[in-house]
Structures are given as structure tokens and as C-alpha cells.
Amino acid sequence: MKSNNSLSKNIIIKYGIILGIMTITRSIIVYITGNYTNGNGELLGMIDGLTLICIITYGLYKYKFSNKGFLKLKEALKIGIAIALLGGAIPLIWNVLLMNFIEPDMINQMLNKRYEEMLKSDVSKEQIKQNLIVNEKLLTSYGNTAIRLFSNLLFGFIISLTGGLIMRKKQNL
């Protein structure tokens, strides 16, 4: 059996890369189909959330299985958060490339789409202006990157905590 440190490192790298690749694949599909301005944020968020839950939970399960059925909460948190961090960092590279080099006008397209949607609603011009200023700051490649990484870590913590509490089993010494 491998040492716990080596085992956890392998699990983190393997499932972090899988999570990153799945997230990039989803993002590429959304980009290729031209749906990045369609406002399907809730659906895409649910897909990303389910992917995060499945990958982290399965990573914890594989660690427990490879560790003779034992998993401490501390290990679960370490592994789950690290998978979320790695799985969130890999797509950020794609996101920065996409928004700065491949489709540098993407932010303007998204802002224009939001502006059109707000004009159709019963919102004052001042509220629209304020909303667009906030959205412009949040939609920059770096603002978007920071928000995505933070949410990945937050949800990774929650998923790891829940999975760790459910799957934990201490080794009797």
C-alpha cells in the first residue's frame, strides 16, 4: 500500500485534472455553440455543480477504498478542497485565453445582451447603468476567474465536509 501522503497526492492530481478537463470541455461546447451570451447561467451552474459533487465524492471514495476503508474528516477536507482548487485552476487558463485572445469582444457581447434584456424589463436607466458598471467589473477575465475559483473552493469545502462526514471511518490503533 502506498503512503497516505502519496495516495492523497495521486487522488488529488488525477481527479483535479479530470474535473478541469470536464469543465473546459463544457466551456468549449458552450463557446462553439455560441451559447455564452444566452443567459443559461443557471443550467450551466447546475452542470458545473453536479460535476464538482461527483468528482470530489468519487475522489474521496477512491481514497477511502485504497486506504483499506479508512477516511478521516481532515483527509477528506484536504483531498476535496485540493481537487476543487486544481479542477478550478485548470479551466481558468482556458478562460483567460478565451476572453483575452480567442474572443476578446466576449465581454462586450455579454454586456450588450444583458443591456437588451434590462431594457425589456421595467428597470430605470440609472439602475441599468449601475448594473452594467458592476457587471463589467465582474465579467473581466480576471474578475470572472477570481469568482469561479472562490466558488469552486467554497463548494469544494462544503462537498468535502459533507462527503467526509458521511464516509469517515477512523482506524482503531
What confidence category does residue 4 fall into, taking pLDDT thresholds of 50, 70 and 90?
A: confident
- Please compute the mean of the pLDDT values over residues 76-98 and round it to a whole number: 92
pLDDT at 1 over 60: no
Radius of gyration, CA atoms only, the chain: 19
Percent of the chain residues topping a pLDDT of 90: 46
Sign of the alpha-carbon torsion through 160, 42, 28, 97: negative
- 148: CB partners within 8 A, 6+ apart: 88, 91, 92, 95
The grid cell for 125 is 436607466
CA gap 63, 72 in Å, rounded: 10
pLDDT at 143 over 80: no
Residue 85 C-alpha from the chain's centroid? 8
CA gap 65, 47 in Å, rounded: 27
Q: Let me know how long the chain is.
A: 173
